Copies of this chain bind each other. A is one copy, B any other.
């Protein structure tokens, strides 16, 4: 089990507590009182946290979310649902989906080691509005 460094812990905690994905400079702003003053300190911690699967990057939003899926130790197979109205993001944990995608083979004979899927739409709350 990986033990987080000081900066990694600070930055993971703030992302983990956040109800929504956080952007790097919003994280920076929020951790300045804890002595983290430069973008690079944030990005280095983010890189590591992504690498070990504690957080994921929502590529379409340039934002980071804590892994909601305890089995997801490494960020190899990620899927998210994103509400285009309220921007709520949820990590999808569906074994049928992950099985289907992990076994997917294309014609070109490419061997995949990783995927990222982002669904967009309206969440239940925003649909009924």
Which A residues form the contact surface with B (CB < 8 A)?
Answer: 59-60, 81, 83-84, 90, 92, 94, 97, 100-101, 104, 106-124, 127
Contact = CB atoms under 8 A, between A and B. Distances in A.
A59 B58 CA distance: 9
| Copies assembled | 2
B116 A118 contact: yes
A110 B97 contact: no
Given A59-B59, A59-B60, A60-B59, A112 B121 contact: yes
A92 to B, nearest CB: 6
Given A97-B104, A116-B118, A118-B116, A109 B81 contact: no
B117 A116 contact: yes
